[in-house]
Amino acid sequence: MNVALVHDWLTGMRGGERVLERIAAMHPTAPIHTLVWTRGTVSAAIESHPIRTSFLQRLPAADRRYRWFLPLFPRAIESLDLSGCDVVLSTSHAAAKSVRTPAGCFHLSYIFTPMRYVWDLEDVYFPPGRFPWPLSWYVRRTCANLRAWDRGTSSRPQALVADSRHVAERIRRWWGRDADVVYPPVEVARFTANTGGRERYLLAGAFAPYKRGDLALAACARLGRPLTVAGSGQERGRLERQAPAGSQFLGWVAEEAMSSVYGSARALLFPGEEDFGIMPLEAMASGTPVIAFGRGGALETVGRGASGEALARVAAGGIARVPGGVLFGTQSAECLAGAIGLFERERFDPHELRALAMPFAPGVFDAAYREVFERRHEEWRRNGKDSHGG
């Protein structure tokens, strides 16, 4: 089969790029089509493929300011030339799933989320009052147009795969479609269960407003607990200004060093609602418990195997011990502080925590993804190769 890969943009190695890397390894000669690419920011394995970009690549500062061109995403993704392809495999959290494919081509799209900044998080990314009129009118109109386009092009892939049950439900709600669920790969082999001393709490990641790092800072300040912050992003400056005395900011930490950062943490604080969330599993693979907001993907990782009673308590806004740590059900500093208090009265075995992360190993992803592809491709072939894509 003549396979083409499509990804939103290649500007850094995050969870989405790890998924792309695994899928690309299954098709080592397939070209990767993307909106923009910053050379050297993704793995050598990804960059070993031919990479073809959209016209956004030629716009000023597009490699750094590509989000400014959000209104152009529909035109840009639809401009990609996939002629001659038999199979298109897209990985999408923005526009990639809406690529146009030729007639008779099978398209399977792995969805990290429907475009979050125009659906669930519009008011977080574009808060009311942030822009003066008439710019505020233009922003709202653009978001509405993007929602209509996102929903209208959701039928283009013949099959959808969600990265969690949480995202599958979002796909059903916004697009009216069903999706298989295949959890993302987590490189659990890079981590070991540390049984040594642990003193400081940890906040880590690429800091965006919806991740609510401010709650971790406020909770640790309230309790007088030391906090280490590892990561960077648009919110880092604000977090540093809000940090209580004794907070330690490491900046962005290389992958090979994160094992020791996780392994020396008392617990990972995870106060945002994530579509899935790989960091909690990396922490658990290091024997580190997680204190997480009990919504989204954390229910399927930190809360995996929890009792119905515990999950009901969290759903009602309370806190509960679960196999991977503690979940809190109200997204506030007060509730997170209460969760830290409960955590400090409990005991967690590092090896048991690591065992909870093992079902998310890369080999499990590979087998599950191949199974879904083969099943959905065969269904499409038997049904007469009904083509969306146009």
Give CA–CA dist 290/303, Å, rounded: 10
Rounded Cα distance, 156 and 133, in Å: 36
Bridge partners of 227, per DSSP, are 201
pLDDT at 238 over 90: no
DSSP string, 15-36: HHHHHHHHHHHHSTT--EEES-
Q: Which two tokens stand for residue 173?
A: 């709600």
Average pLDDT over every residue of 279-291 = 95
Tokens read off for 17: 């790029």
Q: Identify whether the C-beta of residue 160 lies closer than 8 Å to the C-beta of residue 107.
A: no
Percent of the chain exceeding pLDDT 70 equals: 94
Domains of the chain: 3-185+362-382 (3.40.50.2000), 188-360 (3.40.50.2000)
If DSSP codes are grouped into helix, strand and coil, which group holds residue 59?
coil
Going by C-beta distance under 8 Å and a sequence separation of 6 or more, which residues neighbour residue 6?
Answer: 32, 33, 34, 77, 80, 82, 88, 89, 90, 91, 92, 96, 99
CA dist., res. 116 & res. 146, Å (int): 11
Within 10 Å of residue 234's Cβ, how many Cβ atoms?
Answer: 11
User: Does the pLDDT of residue 122 top 60, yes or no?
Assistant: no
According to DSSP, the β-strands at 325-328 and 319-322 are antiparallel
Q: Hunting for tokens 């400014």 — which residue is that? A: 68
**pLDDT recorded at residue 203:** 94
Q: Are strands 51-53 and 290-293 parallel, antiparallel or unpaired?
A: unpaired
The neighbour count for residue 4, using CB atoms within 10 Å, is: 26
Q: What local confidence, expressed as pLDDT, does residue 127 receive?
A: 63
CA–CA dist 137, 370 (Å, integer): 45
Give me the phi and psi of 137, to 5 degrees please: -65, -40
**Per-residue confidence at 110, pLDDT binned at 50, 70, 90?**
very high
**Alpha carbon separation from 145 to 49, 122, 138, 330, 390 (Å, rounded):** 34, 13, 10, 32, 19
The model carries a pTM of 0.85
**Residue 81 CB coordination number (10 Å):** 12
Burial class (CB in 10 A: 0-12, 13-18, 19+), 295: middle
Q: What is the residue-averaged pLDDT of the chain?
A: 90
Local confidence band at 95 (pLDDT 50, 70, 90 cut-offs)? very high
pLDDT tens digits for 149-207? 999 999 999 999 999 999 999 999 999 999 999 999 999 988 988 877 788 999 998 78
**pLDDT for the residue numbered 245:** 80
> Among residues 154, 108, 157, 163, which one has the least CA distance to residue 370?
108
Give the least confident one: 28-42, 95-109, 205-219, 335-349.
205-219
pLDDT of 42 strictly over 90? yes
Q: What's the pLDDT score for residue 283?
A: 95
Determine contact, residues 270/291, Cβ cutoff 8 Å: yes
Alpha-carbon span 359 to 381, nearest angstrom:
31
